[in-house]
Amino acid sequence: MPAAAMLTPEAWSGSLATVTATDTNVDPNVVEVTLRATPAEIEYLPGKRTTAWTYGGTVPGPTIRAKLGDRILVHFRNDLPEPTTIHWHGLRLPNAMDGAGPAATPIPPGGTFDYAFDALDAGTYWYHPHVASNEQVDRGLYGAIVIDDPAEPALPVVADEMVVLDDVMLDAATGVQTAMKDDERALMMGLEGNLALVNGRRSNVGVAVRAGEWRRLRLLSSANARYFKLSLAGGTMIQLATDGTLLEAPAPVSELLLVPGERADVVVRVDSASNTATLRAVPYARAVGSEPTTAIDLVRLVASAEPPVDVKMPAALRPHSPLSPSSKTRTIRLGERTDGARPVFLINDAAFPAVPTIDAKLGSVEEWAIQNESDMDHPFHLHGFFFQPVDTRVRKDTVNVPAKTTVRLLVDFHAHAGAAGSWMYHCHILEHAEGGMLAEVMVNE
Ligand code: C2O
Ligand code: CU
Ligand code: CU
């Protein structure tokens, strides 16, 4: 099952700029925005028009920016030809606002819905549909939501930008997006495209920089299935946050695996004058015996001849206490079987909606052993609550579970307003989620 050959971009130019949602509310503690899901024409390939599904006409959709504690109001209108929802990936919010699960009725074509929630956590999150997500996200429905914490240490960076990574499968001659639905690799591994996108543009962004200066990149993978194993050849990359939450201290990384749905905030720099650093996805094999993906150059930082500046990152970011011992231990087994030619993706040997719902208690911490019995990696994601991989001090909502490996998580069913209810957990390879690897946890008062 070879991966598709990639279309390669020609020139290195352009910026990382993304559209920011307009806050129409004068109250400094309320962010009120309008989002409209609508088909739009996007030029992914020069001179070629691709009909994408968008939030407000752009891919990615507008970045929503708020500060910790703000009230966020989103007036949503569905102008797609099919029902949809907006799910706020990684955010803790009331169950009825999650855009997923039994409490979220799909919004019909022409319908509207007002999302309202408080920004309880600072960091980099994102939004996307939770109806036929493999198709709707793939067509371009995704955007970022960034919550700033004014109390966080100020970082000595010259830029703070979203870098949303995705891939699409396009017909090179016409620009038409093709689905490859019956491709053998796509059925099993999820849909990978032949064009890598950075902020909705083909991956050829070249940014002019001065050597030594730091730029904060908020990396997010909205890809259905592609794994981006990132390296910065010719420069230095330091990780600050994972899935939004700041680490205890900046951590230099030579390679950083970003799986579908996951985020990583990093700072990057070119070390010496007149040099170029390339953010590159290096080959990664995400299934036993599968061919690794080909390397893709994503973003270039091109340093001027000016002498480098010397700027230090702070030594500490945000302290984290380990979660208290768990009250309950569970095993969640990820597996797969074939039904004729079609693979079916399983949790504890059953496919959604046949997976029994777990009952958990609000305020408890549970230990979940995510046991991957299959031959391929699965990115595990839980809605509405954070977890801490055992023996780490990080807080996450999406974590890779490599093939034939068990990852242990302490799940924090922390009480917040509206937290009681049924929440989803699933593989974030969207074909796997829609193909059965999805279930619910009922969190009771
Ligand atoms: Cu990114 Cu169930 O979601
Ligand atoms: Cu989610
Ligand atoms: Cu999966």
More confident residue, 181 or 120: 120
pLDDT digits (tens, 9 = 90+) for 183-214: 777 889 999 999 999 999 998 889 999 999 99
Question: What pLDDT does 181 receive?
Answer: 64
Question: What pLDDT does 322 receive?
Answer: 85
What residue type is 274 in one-letter code?
S
Question: What pLDDT does 133 receive?
Answer: 95
More confident residue, 404 or 391: 404
* Atom number, ligand 1, closest to the C-alpha of residue 433: 2
Sign of CA dihedral 56, 59, 65, 68: positive
Query: Residue whose CA is closest, atom 3 of ligand 1?
Result: 89
Average pLDDT over residues 283-303: 91
- Whether residue 340 has pLDDT greater than 90: no
Highest mean pLDDT, choosing among 58-72, 281-295, 338-352: 58-72
Q: How far is the CA of 397 from the centre of ligand 2 (A)?
A: 8
Work out the pLDDT band at 180, boundaries 50, 70, 90: low
- Whether residue 1 has pLDDT greater than 60: no
Please indicate whether residue 424, judged by its CB atom, sits closer than 6 Å to ligand 1: yes
Question: What pLDDT does 182 receive?
Answer: 67
Tokens matching residue 21: 């949602």
pLDDT digits (tens, 9 = 90+) for 94-144: 999 999 999 999 999 999 999 999 999 999 999 999 999 999 999 999 999
Backbone torsions φ then ψ of 314, nearest 5 degrees? -60, 155
Cis ω before 322 (30° cut-off from 0): no
Q: How far is the CA of 440 from the centre of ligand 1 (A)?
A: 12
Alpha-carbon gap, residue 255 to 105, rounded angstroms: 40
Average pLDDT over residues 167-195: 87
- Whether residue 247 has pLDDT greater than 80: yes
Alpha-carbon gap, residue 327 to 263, rounded angstroms: 29
Please indicate whether residue 300, judged by its CB atom, sits closer than 6 Å to ligand 1: no
Question: What pLDDT does 342 receive?
Answer: 85
Question: What pLDDT does 293 receive?
Answer: 84
Please indicate whether residue 216, judged by its CB atom, sits closer than 6 Å to ligand 1: no
Residue 11's SS3 state is coil
* Atom number, ligand 1, closest to the C-alpha of residue 398: 1
- Whether residue 291 has pLDDT greater than 90: no
Tokens matching residue 290: 């599968």
Please indicate whether residue 162, judged by its CB atom, sits closer than 6 Å to ligand 1: no
Q: How far is the CA of 370 from the centre of ligand 3 (A)?
A: 12
Q: How far is the CA of 422 from the centre of ligand 3 (A)?
A: 21
Average pLDDT over residues 350-356: 97
Provide the mean pLDDT of the chain. 94
Q: How far is the CA of 303 from the centre of ligand 1 (A)?
A: 37
| b/e per residue 421-433 (b: at least 16 CB within 10 A) | bbbbbbbbbbbbb
Query: Residue whose CA is closest, atom 1 of ligand 1?
Result: 89
- Whether residue 281 has pLDDT greater than 60: yes
- Report whether 344 contacts 335 (CB < 8 A): no
Work out the pLDDT band at 8, boundaries 50, 70, 90: low
* Atom number, ligand 1, closest to the C-alpha of residue 438: 2
More confident residue, 327 or 285: 285
Please indicate whether residue 318, judged by its CB atom, sits closer than 6 Å to ligand 1: no
Q: Which chain residues have CB less than 5 Å from ligand 3, an ion?
A: 378, 427, 429, 432
- Report whether 388 contacts 67 (CB < 8 A): no
Work out the pLDDT band at 2, boundaries 50, 70, 90: low
pTM of the model: 0.96
Question: What pLDDT does 183 receive?
Answer: 75
Q: How far is the CA of 351 from the centre of ligand 3 (A)?
A: 12
Q: How far is the CA of 113 from the centre of ligand 2 (A)?
A: 18
Q: How far is the CA of 100 from the centre of ligand 2 (A)?
A: 8
Please indicate whether residue 432, judged by its CB atom, sits closer than 6 Å to ligand 1: no
Work out the pLDDT band at 73, boundaries 50, 70, 90: very high
- Whether residue 20 has pLDDT greater than 60: yes
- Report whether 261 contacts 297 (CB < 8 A): no
Please indicate whether residue 130, judged by its CB atom, sits closer than 6 Å to ligand 1: yes
Work out the pLDDT band at 152, boundaries 50, 70, 90: confident
pLDDT digits (tens, 9 = 90+) for 216-229: 999 999 999 999 99
Alpha-carbon gap, residue 304 to 208, rounded angstroms: 7
- Whether residue 12 has pLDDT greater than 80: no
Q: Which ligand is nearest to the CA of 436?
A: 3
* Atom number, ligand 1, closest to the C-alpha of residue 100: 2
Alpha-carbon gap, residue 132 to 106, rounded angstroms: 11
Q: Which ligand is nearest to the CA of 142?
A: 1
Average pLDDT over residues 390-394: 90
- Whether residue 336 has pLDDT greater than 80: yes
Q: How far is the CA of 429 from the centre of ligand 3 (A)?
A: 5
Please indicate whether residue 207, judged by its CB atom, sits closer than 6 Å to ligand 1: no
pLDDT digits (tens, 9 = 90+) for 298-312: 999 999 999 999 999
Q: How far is the CA of 190 from the centre of ligand 3 (A)?
A: 8
Taking Cα atoms as reference points, which of 74, 366, 133 lies closest to residue 260?
133
- Report whether 248 contacts 317 (CB < 8 A): yes
More confident residue, 318 or 183: 318
Q: Which ligand is nearest to the CA of 433?
A: 3
Please indicate whether residue 42, judged by its CB atom, sits closer than 6 Å to ligand 1: no
Question: What pLDDT does 32 receive?
Answer: 98
